[in-house]
A = this chain, B = another copy of it.
Protein backbone atom coordinates (compact mmCIF):
# COMPACT_ATOMS: atom_id res chain seq x y z
CA UNK A 1 0.00 0.00 0.00
CA UNK A 2 1.16 3.51 -0.85
CA UNK A 3 0.14 5.90 1.90
CA UNK A 4 -0.56 9.64 1.95
CA UNK A 5 1.53 10.18 5.08
CA UNK A 6 4.31 12.46 3.85
CA UNK A 7 6.93 11.10 6.21
CA UNK A 8 8.34 7.56 6.04
CA UNK A 9 11.83 7.47 7.54
CA UNK A 10 13.74 4.21 7.08
CA UNK A 11 15.59 2.89 10.09
CA UNK A 12 16.42 -0.04 12.35
CA UNK A 13 14.54 -1.05 15.50
CA UNK A 14 16.68 -0.43 18.61
CA UNK A 15 14.21 -1.47 21.32
CA UNK A 16 10.70 -2.80 21.84
CA UNK A 17 8.86 -2.50 25.15
CA UNK A 18 5.46 -4.12 25.58
CA UNK A 19 2.58 -2.96 27.78
CA UNK A 20 -0.86 -4.52 28.15
CA UNK A 21 -2.35 -2.66 25.18
CA UNK A 22 0.45 -0.59 23.67
CA UNK A 23 4.08 -1.07 22.68
CA UNK A 24 6.90 1.45 22.60
CA UNK A 25 9.34 1.10 19.72
CA UNK A 26 12.56 3.06 19.20
CA UNK A 27 13.86 3.31 15.62
CA UNK A 28 17.30 4.66 14.67
CA UNK A 29 16.79 6.61 11.42
CA UNK A 30 20.31 8.04 11.11
CA UNK A 31 23.46 7.74 13.26
CA UNK A 32 22.44 9.14 16.63
CA UNK A 33 18.94 10.11 15.44
CA UNK A 34 16.11 8.08 16.95
CA UNK A 35 12.32 8.18 16.68
CA UNK A 36 10.06 6.71 19.36
CA UNK A 37 6.69 5.25 18.35
CA UNK A 38 3.72 4.02 20.35
CA UNK A 39 1.57 1.49 18.49
CA UNK A 40 -0.78 -1.22 19.71
CA UNK A 41 0.81 -4.44 20.92
CA UNK A 42 -1.22 -6.29 18.28
CA UNK A 43 0.22 -4.19 15.45
CA UNK A 44 3.67 -4.80 16.86
CA UNK A 45 3.04 -8.55 16.72
CA UNK A 46 1.29 -8.44 13.31
CA UNK A 47 4.27 -6.67 11.74
CA UNK A 48 6.84 -8.87 13.49
CA UNK A 49 8.63 -5.84 14.90
CA UNK A 50 11.79 -6.80 16.81
CA UNK A 51 15.21 -5.39 17.56
CA UNK A 52 17.35 -5.19 14.42
CA UNK A 53 14.48 -5.25 11.93
CA UNK A 54 14.38 -2.63 9.14
CA UNK A 55 11.24 -0.55 9.43
CA UNK A 56 9.86 2.87 8.53
CA UNK A 57 8.78 5.47 11.05
CA UNK A 58 5.67 6.90 9.40
CA UNK A 59 4.19 10.26 10.41
CA UNK A 60 1.31 12.30 8.95
CA UNK A 61 2.51 15.85 8.21
CA UNK A 62 -0.26 17.39 10.32
CA UNK A 63 1.20 15.60 13.38
CA UNK A 64 4.61 17.29 13.03
CA UNK A 65 5.24 20.48 15.02
CA UNK A 66 8.14 22.90 14.61
CA UNK A 67 10.34 24.00 17.50
CA UNK A 68 13.03 26.64 17.66
CA UNK A 69 15.77 27.34 20.21
Q: Nearest B residue to A7 by beta-carbon distance?
A: B35
Chain B residues with CB under 8 A of A29: 30, 33
Number of interface residues of A (CB under 8 A): 52
Complexed CA–CA distance, A55 and B4 (Å): 11
B25–A23 CB distance below 8 A = no
A7 to chain B, nearest CB (A): 5
Q: Which of B9, B39, B68 contacts A2 (CB 8 A)?
A: B68
B53–A65 CB distance below 8 A = no
A40 to chain B, nearest CB (A): 6
Complexed CA–CA distance, A38 and B4 (Å): 10
Pull 14 A–B residue pairs with CB atoms less than 8 Å apart, ordered by A: A1-B3, A2-B69, A4-B44, A6-B42, A24-B61, A39-B64, A40-B61, A43-B61, A49-B68, A55-B67, A56-B66, A57-B64, A59-B59, A60-B63
